[in-house]
Amino acid sequence: MAVRLDLPDIQGLFARGYSKHPHARFTVFTAPRPASGGALLDWLIPQVTAAAPFSGDVALQVAFTASGLRWLGLPDRVVAGFPAEFIQGMTNTNRSRFLGDVGESDPCRWSWGGPGQPPVDGIVMLYATDQGVLTGRQQELRARLADNGISAVTELPALERRDSEPFGFHDGISQPVIAGLPKAVGARQAVAAGEFVLGYPNARGQLPDSPLLPASADPLRLLLPDPAGSGAVDFGRNGSYLVVRQLEQDVDGFWRFLDAATRRADGSEDPTARTALAAKMVGRWPSGAPLVKAPGQDAPALSDDNDFTYRDDLPGLACPVGAHIRRANPRDSLPSGSATSLTTSGLHRLLRRARSYGPAADGPSGTGLYFMCLTADLSRQFEFVQHTWLNNATFNGLYDDADPLTGNRCSAGAAFTVQARPVRRRYPGLPRFVRARGGAYFFLPGLSALRYLAQLNKGAQK
């Protein structure tokens, strides 16, 4: 059955990555107690960009952590309706271990969001067509936060959007096509909207869990009804979970390792072999061409190609079994068999919205990605992919190989295997190329829920 998405109530990040808005800055903030968020929300809400068609030169999104929702006055019993992983947060000790945030990625070493640092309550994300416009809006935001006694934990300036991530590979190619969005018309494999936004059926045909309130808690009738028809109102409807992780990339270390691993017998560097091995780690060539379709050399004509499975490459001879994209979305290549594997992979899709960053006078000193993704289920989607596929040293029949790009190499997983005939080639001793430097789980509410939050603070619900 066709799903009608309430696009004017859903924040725009669900429908687009703002590729036409190449300049972006993300302000992570901590709020004073007692609450003073209503005034801030009154100012922010008219600027929030919805998922309905949009052509403005600046877009703004706002999201909150569990502590931010409490600060805004959402009663504990409603916050308790969110899943444990959201309430506990990304840096809860058990979650950190599960996510592989140990050793050099331990939250104790983070530059924001870690223990002992100011609590993260929310994030305001600005996207603009032009750097000047972005700077102006950022100044207004800074002044407005200060007027409300709210401090920025950090401002995260993104690099002007390019097609490539810092290791030099075309990124942002493979995205789920979401049923109900215009792009899904005629698409072969649209993913249910309820995988990424609450209030709609998910891939299993069920409504995602959502924090409900009795209708009496919403006398101004700002919230939308529970789509399951319980008579309650649904705070979560049209909202999504937003994962934000600042992932620092050791770009020199990555290419140094590849140079050393592909050096010729006479000790000279072999740039062709080095790029080929890097492509094997990613599963795509720098242009983006997928290895399953272009196994021997880069094929820029295929740079945006996402129409492939691993059916004809189950042994991994074209695209290694442990390549980043084959772990992050194994498509039909899990040992359960093609059809089951496609269904399983469909339960763990992520709507990625990353931006890269580089050394900036007023920002982080390193280089990397602000990895961001939207999900309707943090645990089944983001945490599962990170733990069970990317960081898993025994993924799909391997035995000491974590993700060659993102693996943390803590107790295992420092090898990369390239399947080949007559014998596979193993590259042991992979260093860590990616370190977590900050992060948090946010909830990106629908516009109705934002309006509800705005008036909570003003005593209307007391």
Residues lying near ligand HEM in the complex (CB under 6 A) are found at 165, 167, 169, 171-174, 247, 249, 282, 284, 324-325, 328-329, 350, 368-369, 371, 382, 385-386, 390, 405-406, 434
Provide, rounded to whole angstroms, the least separation between the CB of residue 328 and ligand HEM: 3
DSSP string, 136-196: HHHHHHHHHHHHTTPEEEEEEEPPPP-SB-TTS-B-S---PEETTSGGGTT-SSEEPGGGT
DSSP 131: H
Give the Cα separation of 99 and 318 in Å (integer): 29
Residue 286 burial (C-beta neighbours within 10 Å; 0-12, 13-18, 19+): middle
> Cβ distance 345 to 329 under 8 Å?
yes
> Cβ distance 418 to 326 under 8 Å?
no
What are φ and ψ of residue 74, in 5° steps? -70, 120
> Cβ distance 176 to 349 under 8 Å?
yes
Nearer to ligand HEM, 61 or 249 (CB): 249
CB-facing half-sphere around the CA of 395: CA atoms within 13 A: 33
Nearer to ligand HEM, 58 or 319 (CB): 319
Provide, rounded to whole angstroms, the least separation between the CB of residue 245 and ligand HEM: 7
Nearer to ligand HEM, 82 or 371 (CB): 371
Provide, rounded to whole angstroms, the least separation between the CB of residue 99 and ligand HEM: 9
N- to C-terminal Cα separation, the chain: 41
Provide, rounded to whole angstroms, the least separation between the CB of residue 241 and ligand HEM: 13
Nearer to ligand HEM, 67 or 329 (CB): 329
Nearer to ligand HEM, 137 or 331 (CB): 331
Provide, rounded to whole angstroms, the least separation between the CB of residue 192 and ligand HEM: 17
Provide, rounded to whole angstroms, the least separation between the CB of residue 252 and ligand HEM: 14
Nearer to ligand HEM, 169 or 441 (CB): 169
Provide, rounded to whole angstroms, the least separation between the CB of residue 423 and ligand HEM: 27
Nearest partner of 243 among 86, 365, 119, 49, judged by Cα: 86
Measured in residues, the chain has a length of 462
The partner residues of 240 in beta bridges, in order of sequence, read 444
Nearer to ligand HEM, 201 or 286 (CB): 286
- Output the CA angle 233-234-237, nearest 5 degrees: 145
Pair type for strands 190-191 and 177-178: parallel
Nearer to ligand HEM, 226 or 248 (CB): 248
Provide, rounded to whole angstroms, the least separation between the CB of residue 391 and ligand HEM: 9
